[in-house]
Amino acid sequence: MNSKEIWVFIEISDTGVEPVSWELLGKARELANKVNFLVTSIIISNKESKIAEEAIARGSDKVLYIIHNECSHYSFELFTKIITDLNEKFKPEILLMPATHNSRDLAGRLAIRLHTGLTADVVQLDINNQGILLGAVPGFGGSILAIIKCEQSIPQMATVRPGIFQSILPDQNRKGTIEYIFPQIKENLKETILIKKITLNKEDISKSPRLVIAGRGISSNLNEIRLLAELINGGVGVTRPISDMGLFGREHQIGSTGISVKSKLAIIFGASGATHFSSGIKNVETVISINLDHKALINEVSDYFIIADASEILPRIIDKLKLKMELIK
């Protein structure tokens, strides 16, 4: 039987599979079960690896594993060409891709080449009985969601930022097929030359169980924010203004233009709670906030809120915590 397919592009970087790929695979599995489609993982690399088996354990029915000696690293020419050729052959209904820099670089080009619609940065995904993908995209400020669909062309493409969906824990008993493909590509196709790669150990706060989050109101006390995070063994998150000021890297920025987090606890200092920020803390278990304005939106999205000068409260929390920890020792 020729079943319809949902494809997930598994992005590989020098540090391994980008975790968002597994999150997409988890969602693809759920959508596929609803309409009885197959889930296929697309892996592009320069060598064989255990990633194929992991993709099956995490929800794929099938893996298309493309091996080409120039694909140890992403280049728009080869990756666009490879997926275009695969698409021609297999004609998937849906193609899901991570909203990382490289996969967006690829998705934007691919959507034009495949003459199809691309819904970027979806925060919810569903599928209807006709197999039409429904992607929710936050509008201005994130208070409204536009449900976007692409009915006239396939593959229906969507990109998803890290932290939106849940990955499935690997189940080694899951069955699936792996097909290796060795594409013949004309030699001068790739003109991009990689001169140098600088790998940074960027902190991944989306995995942190506890977060201390800094807004504009605490921008001059960021060292204390770091200290508190260290004390509670957590990560540091920031709002967009702090990231825009260059005080923390984008990987720390929370919200609809940054990352979504799902920590057990988030303590937020000096943030007003603009909706494009708040959409990123939706999945946090317990939210505590401290800010000066009793009318601020942040109060409404907190489990516990305090109306006070965050810069006054912060050092006292640190002192008190240190004291308590001494006692516990």
Partner 1 sequence: MKGINIVVCVKIVPKPEEVKLNLETNTLDRANASSIINPPDKNAIETAIQLKQIYGGQITVISMGPPFFDGFMKLIISMGVDKAILLSDRAFAGADTYPTTKTLSQAIKKLGNVDLVICGEESADGGTGNVPPGIAEWLNYSQATYCHEIDYDASEQRFIVKRSISDGFEIISIPKPAVVSVELNINTPRFPDFSLKKELDNNKHKIPIWSATDLDLEPNEIGLSGSFTTVDSLIQAKGLERKQIQIIGNIDDIVDQLVDLIINK
State which of positions 283-312 bind partner 1 (CB under 8 A). 285-288, 299-308, 312
Measured from the CB atom, the residue of 186 and 196 that comes closer to partner 1 is 196
Measured from the CB atom, the residue of 108 and 170 that comes closer to partner 1 is 108
Q: CB-based contacts of 181: which residues, under 8 Å, 6+ apart?
A: 64, 65, 66, 67, 86
- Residue 119 interacting with partner 1 (CB under 8 A): yes
Residue 323's Cβ-count burial label (10 Å; 0-12, 13-18, 19+) is: exposed
In whole angstroms, give the CA distance from residue 17 to residue 32. 22
Measured from the CB atom, the residue of 56 and 94 that comes closer to partner 1 is 94
- Residue 72 interacting with partner 1 (CB under 8 A): no
Q: How far is the CB of 96 from partner 1 (least distance, A)?
A: 15
Q: Which of residues 139-158 bind partner 1 (CB under 8 A)?
A: 139-153
- Using CB under 8 A, pick the residue from 34, 91, 207, 264 that binds partner 1: 264
Of 1-9, 50-58, 103-111, 213-221: span binding partner 1 (CB under 8 A)? 103-111
- Residue 246 interacting with partner 1 (CB under 8 A): yes
Classify each residue of 199-235 as buried b or exposed e, where b means 16 or more C-beta atoms within 10 Å of its C-beta.
eeeeeebbebebbbbbbebbbebbebbebbbeebebb
Q: Which two tokens stand for residue 171?
A: 């189940």
- Residue 193 interacting with partner 1 (CB under 8 A): yes
Q: CB-based contacts of 173: which residues, under 8 Å, 6+ apart?
A: none
- Using CB under 8 A, pick the residue from 274, 277, 296, 310 that binds partner 1: 274
Place of tokens 């690293």: 73
Measured from the CB atom, the residue of 171 and 230 that comes closer to partner 1 is 230
- Residue 187 interacting with partner 1 (CB under 8 A): no
Q: How far is the CB of 18 from partner 1 (least distance, A)?
A: 6
CA atoms within 13 A on the CB side of 2: 5
In whole angstroms, give the CA distance from residue 95 to residue 10. 11
Q: Which of residues 20-59 bind partner 1 (CB under 8 A)?
A: none
In whole angstroms, give the CA distance from residue 174 to residue 55. 10
Closest by CA position to 167, among listed 120, 204, 207: 207
In whole angstroms, give the CA distance from residue 225 to residue 207. 18
- Using CB under 8 A, pick the residue from 181, 185, 227, 232 that binds partner 1: 232
Binders of partner 1: how many residues, by CB under 8 A? 96
Measured from the CB atom, the residue of 56 and 301 that comes closer to partner 1 is 301
